[in-house]
């Protein structure tokens, strides 16, 4: 079952919140083992270093395997949050009854004519503002925004040297028209989309120096430097086989398979149409 944009975004945040917990869990395992190696009287200093390095490599790879899977899950939820938010934002408002639509269309047409015939920009702007102030229906507000150039044009044409001033004021009125009539769902979707964009532009899941420093102290800089780009680590020839299985998000995978099915269906239909036309032209098929 699909969720709304905020639910997907919160899942992404939960994954990011697990990064510190992941590092702490490895600390509780690695530190005692390294201490045990260091205290082993049966090993030379060279032997201790070799065994410690092997341990760090083993756990460094494990940490980056976890980082890779978490990154893929985090990205999948951000993608789903973005898609859900954009779908909500671009959803068309419910159209009012026929009588309300008819009254609006007549009044809006009359307003456009009035603005064209009004010689003063301030008077024309006042008429437009008064008209917009009476709008209560989101669908009607959407229609005005769609045709805003038609009502803004006459005002700007009459503005003369004050054109820049009226441009700013009309731009503000255009945005206000949208903000005043956005549904709570759309307002929330826009907020979530803003958060998603911020997350997409961030440095990665492991955003704090404390986490990077902790990994560096545990297993070394070689692994800590790849915390936010584990895919680059596993792209190296030496570590390709250690790359974890790719996380497949069920919802995104279903969308992909449906899209591929539609594409193949369209290609098949196009081929059948071409074959049919060729047979008609050659006389093999008569309709």
Q: What is the mean pLDDT of the chain?
A: 91
Query: Are residues 12 and 37 located together in one domain of the fold?
Result: yes
Q: Summarize pLDDT for 30-62 with one digit per residue, the tens.
A: 999 999 999 989 999 999 999 999 999 999 999
> Would you place residue 223 in the very low, low, confident or very high pLDDT band (cuts 50, 70, 90)?
very high
Report if residue 281 sits inside a domain.
yes
Q: How far apart are CA 5 and CA 79, in angstroms?
A: 10
pLDDT at 191 over 90: yes
- Name the residue among 196, 231, 204, 185 with its Cα closest to residue 77: 196
Query: Are residues 66 and 200 located together in one domain of the fold?
Result: yes
Report if residue 189 sits inside a domain.
no
Query: Are residues 113 and 174 located together in one domain of the fold?
Result: yes
Query: Are residues 204 and 135 located together in one domain of the fold?
Result: no
Q: Summarize pLDDT for 245-286 with one digit per residue, the tens.
A: 999 998 888 888 888 787 777 777 777 777 777 666 776 766
pLDDT at 19: 92
Report if residue 37 sits inside a domain.
yes
Higher pLDDT, 206 or 144: 144
Query: Are residues 198 and 82 located together in one domain of the fold?
Result: yes
Report if residue 72 sits inside a domain.
yes
> Would you place residue 81 in the very low, low, confident or very high pLDDT band (cuts 50, 70, 90)?
very high
- Name the residue among 19, 18, 23, 7 with its Cα closest to residue 206: 19
Q: How many structural domains does the chain have?
A: 3
Residue where a domain terminates, one of 159, 182, 205: 182
Average pLDDT of the segment spanning 196-202: 91
Report if residue 188 sits inside a domain.
no
> Would you place residue 228 in the very low, low, confident or very high pLDDT band (cuts 50, 70, 90)?
very high
Average pLDDT of the segment spanning 186-213: 89
Query: Are residues 22 and 69 located together in one domain of the fold?
Result: yes
Query: Are residues 255 and 122 located together in one domain of the fold?
Result: no
Q: Which range of residues forms the domain containing residue 254?
A: 248-287
> Would you place residue 287 in the very low, low, confident or very high pLDDT band (cuts 50, 70, 90)?
low
Query: Are residues 14 and 77 located together in one domain of the fold?
Result: yes
pLDDT at 133: 94
Other CB atoms within a 10 A radius of the CB of residue 75 amount to 18
Percent of the chain exceeding pLDDT 70 equals 97
> Would you place residue 82 in the very low, low, confident or very high pLDDT band (cuts 50, 70, 90)?
very high
pLDDT at 179: 87
Query: Are residues 222 and 257 located together in one domain of the fold?
Result: no
Query: Are residues 12 and 131 located together in one domain of the fold?
Result: no
Report if residue 105 sits inside a domain.
yes
pLDDT at 93: 84
Report if residue 111 sits inside a domain.
yes
pLDDT at 216: 93
Residue where a domain terminates, one of 154, 182, 210: 182
> Would you place residue 243 in the very low, low, confident or very high pLDDT band (cuts 50, 70, 90)?
very high
Q: How far apart are CA 226 and CA 62, in angstroms?
A: 12
pLDDT at 207 over 90: no
Report if residue 187 sits inside a domain.
no
Query: Are residues 215 and 82 located together in one domain of the fold?
Result: yes
Query: Are residues 79 and 107 located together in one domain of the fold?
Result: no
Q: Summarize pLDDT for 128-161 with one digit per residue, the tens.
A: 999 999 999 999 999 999 999 999 999 999 999 9
Residue where a domain terminates, one of 182, 209, 231: 182
């Amino acid at each position: 079952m699909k969720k709304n944009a905020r639910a997907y975004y919160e899942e992404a945040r939960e994954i990011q919140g697990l990064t510190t917990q992941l590092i702490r869990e490895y600390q509780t395992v690695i530190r005692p083992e390294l201490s045990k190696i260091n205290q082993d009287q049966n090993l030379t200093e060279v032997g201790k270093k070799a065994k410690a390095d092997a341990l760090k490599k083993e756990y460094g790879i494990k940490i980056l395997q976890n980082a890779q899977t978490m990154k893929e899950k985090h990205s999948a939820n951000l993608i789903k949050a973005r898609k859900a938010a954009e779908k909500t934002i671009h959803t068309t408002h419910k159209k009012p009854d026929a009588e309300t639509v008819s009254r609006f269309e007549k009044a809006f047409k009359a307003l456009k004519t009035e603005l064209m015939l009004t010689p003063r920009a301030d008077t024309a702007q006042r008429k437009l503002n008064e008209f917009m102030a009476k709008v209560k229906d989101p669908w009607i507000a959407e229609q005005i925004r769609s045709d805003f150039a038609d009502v803004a044009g006459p005002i700007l044409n009459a503005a003369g040297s004050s054109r820049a001033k009226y441009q700013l004021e009309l731009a503000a009125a255009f945005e206000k028209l949208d903000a005043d009539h956005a549904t709570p769902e759309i307002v929330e979707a826009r907020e979530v989309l803003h958060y998603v964009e911020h997350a997409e532009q961030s440095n990665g899941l492991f955003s704090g120096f404390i986490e990077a420093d902790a990994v560096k102290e545990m297993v070394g800089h070689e692994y800590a430097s790849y915390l936010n780009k584990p895919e680059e680590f596993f792209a190296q020839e030496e570590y390709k086989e250690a790359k974890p299985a790719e996380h497949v998000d069920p919802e995104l995978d279903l969308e992909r398979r449906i899209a591929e099915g539609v594409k193949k269906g369209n290609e098949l239909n196009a081929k059948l149409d071409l074959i049919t036309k060729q047979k008609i032209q050659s006389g093999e098929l008569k309709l």
